[in-house]
Amino acid sequence: MKTRQELSNGENIIDTIEISTPLGPMLAGATSQGVCILEFINRVKLEKEILDLQKLLNAVMLPGNNPHLDQLANELTEYFEGSRKVFSVPLHIPGNEFSQAVWKILQEIPYGQTCSYKQQADKMNNPKAIRAIATTNGRNRLAIIVPCHRVIGSDGKMIGYAAGVEKKKWLLKFERSHSEIPADSLF
């Protein structure tokens, strides 16, 4: 691991911290532009996500803090207290045009609600792209903030969450319990 003094010219820094949550620790990282990663430590293929992100941003991840991480930590605390429904922390989400469109739709799914991959595809006016959309959802590096946990199968099944289906169920049930939607209508 490089130190800040060993960075080569042009290399950027992703400051990282670990944030404790009721579902376990999360890795959070931010550039000067905004939060670029928030993942559960036990996420499937986390190491690959980190390498891909570093390559996309020509950056190295180093322990450290910045104002975006401070804001993120506060907003996550509020989220897990049930008082925050929408995040306002600046985000730095590198990706192609299709990926950006998929992640934008995810951010439009209201707190406490779900949609299917098919509904997500329909909303993007691309009904044949269900598999590509599901794959792109899986490459989302901003758990909870870009709420891919709110996407379920058309049959209502809890599928496709890299941090584990149990975490997905917990997050959905938690959100329902802090919204106007009855918690028992989830499953």
Query: Which of the residues are catalytic?
Result: 148
d(CA 148, CA 113): 11
Torsion of CA 34, 37, 38, 39, to 10 degrees: 180
How far from 118 is each of 38, 109, 126, 165, CA to CA, in Å?
26, 14, 9, 19
- For residue 67, the number of C-alpha atoms closer than 13 Å in the C-beta half-sphere is 5
Contact 39, 25 (CB under 8 A): no
d(CA 122, CA 73): 34
